[in-house]
A and B are shown apart, each in its own frame.
Chain A
Amino acid sequence: MASPSDDIILETRALTRAFKGFVAVSEVNLRVRRGHIHALIGPNGAGKTTMFNLLTKFLIPTSGQIFYEGTDITRERPAEVARRGIIRSFQISAVFPHLSVRENVRIGLQRRLGTSFHFWRSERSLECLDEQADELLDAVGLLEFAGETTVNLPYGRKRALEIATTLALDPALMLLDEPTQGMGHEDVSRVTELIRRVSKNRTVLMVEHNMGVVAGLCDAITVLQRGQVLSEGSYETVAADQRVIEAYMGSTETTLAGAHG
């Protein structure tokens, strides 16, 4: 097998995960180009979230391999993968609800200080991160809520906070699991804009249902169906693919462009 070329940041080879009775992800070869916003789409149960869990090691693959920057990371553990620069988000908003908004971001920044095991130190020693935390909050439009307890934020803002926390780690590869799920129209466009902005100098792999979001945002799309890659390419290529239209609409009469929302 040839080694992955330099501009492929993440690659899977014949990645497979079987659960009792069915195969959730089957022989998937995924190649994510550096700097791209790459979308993983597909109907419910297509294996998108399983893919994410495999890539971030929350699940162990049954077979197949995962390469990050050309290194085999198939056997690594979640925290190790995160330390390599792959940071994920979750389908349900992953925040720390009873920490303040600023503290949430600080948790992301804190590891860098190397004092995370220092139980004898005052937590005031973390205040040196506040300025940086506030910059990140400003970038996602949450600065005015910095002192608020996170549980009180509306849903859309929690997602924005999640992205700010992820950004705090300055990841080379961000994995976003349905970042606009359950959002109102206004929040969707705000988060889409946010993703576009933060994708500068990094790679984003996202699971997304909303075709409107994918169309305007993503450089490449992989369509999964029943655990297998159905189609791959730019939005135009994928949207014109009869098999994709069929999978999404159940018929070939409409085009995918009608699947907005």
Chain B
Amino acid sequence: MGAIVHRPGRDFGFGLLALAVLGLVAPWIGLYPVFVMKALCFAMFACAFNLLLGFTGLLSFGHAAFFATAGYAAGHAIKVWGWPMEAGLGFAVLCSGLLGLAIGALAIRRQGIYFAMVTLALAQMVFFVFLQAKFTGGEDGLQGIPRGRLLGALDLADDLNLYYAVLAIFLACLALCYRIVHSPYGQVLKAIRENEPRALSLGYRVDRYKLLAFVLSASLAGLAGGCKALVVGFETLTDAAWQMSGEVVLMTLVGGVGTLFGPVIGAFAIVGLQDQLADRVGSWVQVILGLTFIVCVLGFRRGIAGEVAAWRERRRATSR
């Protein structure tokens, strides 16, 4: 056993493969594709958020702004301008990325709780803009977003077709997260997270690295938001509200912050709970989510994936 070297790349490969297989068979074992698609979109959202919280050490409390901006951007481009679905999604990512650049540039000047407050405040301003602006439909939301065709051929109005498209996007998003974390850039991020003054004293312009992380995170949150708007066919203010920013924190923490698969697990857990409970207990679902969160924070701080990883680490240590 002692000779076996721990390889994160191989572990991630297995995990990704397992998710791909699970994803491929999910519609055939009785899971409702629209539900899984929604969960996949939130999983992407949580992964994007985790890039910032888990791998950069920045707690943003305004990620709903990027999620919703992308939803409106994709919806508007596809519905009003008649853009193909791919261009609409690209536009959505671009918009949320640019918004990320603007908000990030302001927020990274502050640290800790102040950083979180600045992101929250700016996200609330974005919410207000969406509430007032014409193109969002205000309180009514942007309704009837057509799904279009993939590459002009595959009709995405068919749930199963869209499902596989979203699954592919999700897997690519996860792979990109892995690449970012395990890149030369990811190494510097890790160094900054571990000891920021030291990274600074070695000549790294720390703020620029943080800003890039913020923009990457916002862009991926945008990809998630754009996909979600396509899946459900509408975009509303719910996605821009501060509760959405809170929900993504919850998903990430429950799943395991700073792990690659944790946010995916967390997103499925939370979306699954909401989906299962909404019909049965009504608004009690919020109370149950709150309790889940408390149990998670008190009982298993590392989150589901984090606890599993720690358990494997212990086993590896004892088998040496």
A207 to chain B, nearest CB (A): 15
Contact B191 A118 (CB under 8 A): no
Q: Is A123 touching B195 in the complex (CB atoms < 8 A)?
A: no
**Interface 0/1 of A164-177, CB less than 8 Å to B:** 01000100000000
Interface members, chain B 195-220 (any A CB < 8 Å): 195, 197-206, 208-209, 212, 216
Among listed A67-75, A94-102, A178-186, interface-contacting one: A94-102
With contacts A99-B191, A119-B212 taken as known, whether A90 is within 8 angstroms of B185 at the C-beta atoms is: no
- A122 and B202 in contact (CB under 8 A), knowing A107-B188, A116-B188, A117-B212? no
For B182, B186, B187, B201, the residue with the greatest tally of chain A CB atoms inside 10 Å of its CB is B201
Residue of B nearest to A150 (CB): B194
Q: Are B183 and A94 in contact (CB under 8 A)?
A: no
Chain B residues with CB below 8 A from A169, complex form = 202-203
A94 close to B201 (CB less than 8 A): yes
Nearest CB in chain B to that of A84: its residue: B203
Q: Is B116 an interface residue (CB 8 A)?
A: no
Q: How many residues of chain A have a CB within 8 Å of chain B?
A: 35
Q: Report B13 CB to chain A, min CB distance, Å.
A: 13
Q: Is the CB of A120 within 8 A of B179?
A: yes
Q: With A88-B201, A96-B195 given, is the CB distance from A116 to B206 under 8 Å?
A: no
Q: How far is the CA of A95 from the CA of B191 in the complex (A)?
A: 9
| B2 interfacial contact with A, CB 8 Å | no
Q: Is B180's beta carbon under 8 Å from chain A? A: yes
0/1 interface trace, chain B 170-192, chain A, CB 8 Å (1 if under): 00000000011011111110110
Say whether A110 faces chain B, with CB atoms less than 8 Å apart: yes
The distance in angstroms between the C-alpha atoms of A231 and B150, with both chains bound, is: 78
User: Number of contacting residues on B, CB 8 A?
Assistant: 27
In the complex the two chains form, what is the Cα distance from A121 to B180 in whole Å?
8
Q: Which partner residue on chain B sits nearest A94 by CB separation?
A: B198
**Which of A97, A111, A113 is close to B204, meaning CB atoms less than 8 Å apart?**
A111
Residues of A within 8 A of B199 (CB): 107
Of B182, B185, B201, the contact of A82 (CB 8 Å cutoff)? B201
Q: Mark A120-145, 1 if CB is under 8 A from B, else 0.
A: 11110110000000000000000000
Could you mark each residue 148-184 of chain B with 1 if its beta carbon is under 8 Å from any beta carbon of chain A, else 0?
Answer: 0000000000000000000000000000000110111
Say whether B202 contacts A116, CB under 8 Å: no
Complex CA–CA separation, A117 to B197 (angstroms): 19
A95 CA to B199 CA, complexed, in Å: 9
A123 engages B182 (CB within 8 Å): yes
Contact status B183-A123, CB under 8 Å: yes
Contact B185 A117 (CB under 8 A): yes
Nearest residue (CB) in A for B203 is A82
Q: A residues within 8 A CB of B205? A: 79
CB distance from B108 to the nearest CB of A (A): 14
CB distance from A31 to the nearest CB of B (A): 23
Q: Which residue of A lies closest to B5 (CB)?
A: A147
Contact A122 B182 (CB under 8 A): yes
Residue among A103, A108, A118 making CB contact with B202, cutoff 8 Å? A108
Q: Contacts A56-B201, A94-B201, A165-B202; is A116 near B194 (CB within 8 Å)?
A: no
Which residues in B have their C-beta under 8 angstroms from that of A83?
203
Given A94-B195, A95-B195, A117-B212: A110 touches B184 (CB 8 Å cut-off): yes
- Bound state CA distance, A36 and B205, in angstroms? 29
Residues of A whose CB lies within 8 Å of any CB of B are 56, 58, 78-79, 82-83, 87-88, 90, 94-99, 103, 106-108, 110-111, 113, 115-123, 125-126, 165, 169
Q: Write the residues of chain B forming the contact surface with A, with a CB cutoff of 8 angstroms.
A: 179-180, 182-188, 190-191, 194-195, 197-206, 208-209, 212, 216
Nearest 6 CB-CB pairings of A with B: A82-B203, A119-B185, A94-B198, A96-B194, A79-B205, A119-B180
Known: A82-B203, A123-B187. 6 other contacts (CB 8 A): A79-B205, A90-B198, A90-B201, A118-B183, A119-B183, A125-B184
